[in-house]
Amino acid sequence: MVDQVLASDPPPGQGAAPPADRPLTDRPPGVPGVGRRVVGVLRRVAAAGLWAAVLAGLVYAWRWTDTPTDDIRAYLVYWLAGLVLPGTLVHRALRGSRGNLPEDLGYGAAVGLVLELAAWALATATGAQSALRWWPVPVVLLFLVVPRLWRHWRVREPRPLPLRWHLAMAVLLGLIICWAAAQWEDLPLPPADFAYYQDLMYHLGLVQELTRGMPFELPQVAGEALRYHYLSDAHMASASLVTGSHPATVLLRLWLVPVAATAAVVTAGLARDLAGRWWVGPVGAAAAYLGVPLTLGSPVSAGGGLALSFASPSQTYMLPLLMLLTGLCVDLVRGRGLGPAWVLPPVLALACTGAKSSALPPLIAGLGLAGLVAWVRARRFPWRVLLALATLLAAMAAGYRLFAGGGAGVLVLQFFGLIRHMDPYRETLGVDDPIEIGGLLPPGVAAADGSTGWHVALGILGFWLVLQLPRLAGLLVTVSRGGRGDPAAWLLGGAVVAGTTACWTLFHPSASQLYFFAAVMPFGAVLTGWLLAVARPPWPVLLTAAAGGAAAQLLVPPLAEPAETVPAWQSAMADTAWRVLALVGAAALLAVLLTVLFGGRAVAGSAPDRPARGRGRWVAVANAGVAAALVGASVAEGVDLTVQWIVDEPRPPAAAERLVTADEMRAALWLDGRAGADDVVATNVHCQPVRTYENCDARAFWVTGLGGRRALLESWGYSDAVVAEHGRDGRSYPLQPAPDPEVYALNQRVFTAPAAGDLARLRHEYGVRWLFADTRAGKVSPALSRLAPIRFTAGPVTIHELP
């Protein structure tokens, strides 16, 4: 049953810090016992209704974006019965119940994702993919037949959360659904005349590949080993194998919201554990997954928008795993043992590394710092923390050997490298930067006269830090009375600093160093929520400050676009920074004045851990006001962007030459439905736009993505060999030539000047069975149809089969 709704937080040692709010009762003064039970039932019904509304909203969003009903039904059964149920049972067995059903199910879903990865690895290693759908059965049966495990079927020792928590989480998840629907609105399911973002088609090809058996290959370049953090794609491959839904439907629709919702619930649970107050959970999760950097009318954004990403499945999939792992680390640095839950850190750490290679390094840095703080504070060496640190390091090393490759090869040390992707530098000192990666400083900074380069670099860094204050202000917890002695605050704070430092000391030609910061955005948001709880000013103070921040973000007039000169950009950034500082000052002053107006009272029902007194008390109140204003502005901007995305006119289609036609997609889908699982296809489609020419952008990916089969040589833009050649001859890695010129020449010759010998070589030497010939991509000789029988034709595409 959904939990009772107005009880206190868990006691110490049972999943949370001591409750700071006075335990509430379901019975107002004078209400008899029968009335209390009636009120309790009504509140449980109301809470259940809120969660039902979230589920109904998700189903509506799927149907609104033309997701097939059968796929929706199958996916919901898969998610609830195949992930949440076994995961919840295992999590309760290892760590106990959270005391309330929603958090139990959220944490259970995160554990279910890890269990699914283990089942998928076993199935693909043994060729038993058809049996994958049955992996939850032995887990559930174990909890049915072993009497000792029966207790894990229910919430033992209920510690329910207030109805307001359920309402806040329902609103948060509803807004996440709206954000997802905004991504789907103009993204049709295939076949359609559409130009998909190339990374989505790349991931779709990986999803298709991971439904096959080990060892895995890079499907766009058959025969090359797959080295990539692909576990998000493994999750979607598992979902497709279990539900029978096409991988494109899973990727483009079904997987996103359940995983994001899991991350939100686990993050809210972590925030509640840290601060000891129920309301910090929804606030921290909202700041983490709805908030974006401030703009306040700035002509340029800071980059690093939402922690959630539709275009980067690996980033979103990593979040619930990382937050669950962080919760375990929090228990350790606070001196709590894990007991049987020690089995979770190594598997979660390996899963995080395999999901996103940038996830684990900041957490390792934070854990090391927290262990040092715990050692100094307790004057006893934290052996458990050391063991956890060794576990995470070993998992990262193993993950590097198993998964690392591709873009990681061009991630280099370069201080201020991020500015090379920002307009204030690109339009000024960086306007003539070469494509090559460069040295320890961006080329324009290194070549600037005098101290100009340093002034520009430091100015952009300061500007970026100011706009990221909603994710960074929470670092004040580490020096506040309520947090400076808590190693958990240093754990998250150290991770935030490490992620930020990596973002600004590394360079990647596609700005992938930002993912180090994206991994710690939720940590920063949780710390900011914790900062609100340190002072506990009256609720009207926090709500007024948050509303003021939101109003400032939404109503302040935009600044004019600056000229492309250093002084103009410095002036524009300074004006934005002054706006942010004015908001900070106004919020601090308003918080202090309103607290005085309310008599300096703390929130009713304060816990025994009394707030700071005297000047420290007012500093804490000012900090809380600033944090509330920053969260209000950040979330308001994120929600406003989503609303605009939904209500604005449909975005215009891509240029005709970039579109992949419905006929081309239909042909690829035909291939997916007819070819054998291990068949290899040769195609003349390599680039975007579709037509192939010398040094074109070799990132088409849709033949392998929609066609579902390995290609002899489709698109090589993300292959390890080509990525390593970034900058050669002044071209970025997607514009580099094919990695094997001989194979490329043979592949092209088969379509333009086919000969029986070349076709035989394809069939017997490279295992090619199908030819996917597209006249939009290049010349296709009429002689090909005489040498290889035609099996399907759609628009410009003809599919041939080699005997």
pLDDT tens-digit map of 312-321 = 999 999 999 9
pLDDT tens-digit map of 565-616 = 999 999 999 999 999 999 999 999 999 999 888 766 544 333 334 445 567 7
Would you say 126 and 107 are in contact if contact means Cβ atoms under 8 Å apart?
Answer: no
pLDDT tens-digit map of 368-395 = 999 999 998 888 889 999 999 999 999 9
| Tokens 């058959």 belong to residue | 222
Res 616: pLDDT? 76
Task: Give the integer Cα–Cα distance in Å for 227 and 404.
Answer: 6
Pair of tokens at residue 745: 């020449």
Rounded to 5 degrees, φ, ψ at 688 are -125, 130
Q: Is the pLDDT score of 28 beyond 50?
A: no
Task: State the sign of the Cα–Cα–Cα–Cα dihedral 577, 581, 582, 587.
Answer: positive
Least confident of 95-99, 234-238, 603-607, 711-715: 603-607
Res 543: pLDDT? 95
What percent of the chain shows pLDDT beyond 70? 93
pLDDT tens-digit map of 650-665 = 777 777 778 999 999 9
Res 6: pLDDT? 29
Domain ranges of the chain: 1-190, 196-247+654-803, 291-647
Q: Is the pLDDT score of 512 beyond 80?
A: yes
Counting every residue written for the chain, the total comes to 803
452-466: burial string, b at 16+ Cβ within 10 Å, e else: ebeebbebbeebbeb
Q: What is the mean pLDDT of residues 728-737?
A: 93
Q: Is the pLDDT score of 8 beyond 60?
A: no
In 3D space, the residue among 282, 206, 208, 264 whose CA is nearest the CA of residue 58 turns out to be 264
Res 620: pLDDT? 87
Task: Give the integer Cα–Cα distance in Å for 371 and 490.
Answer: 9
Q: Is the pLDDT score of 777 beyond 70?
A: yes
Task: State the sign of the Cα–Cα–Cα–Cα dihedral 344, 350, 355, 357.
Answer: positive
CA within 13 Å, CB half, 506 = 22
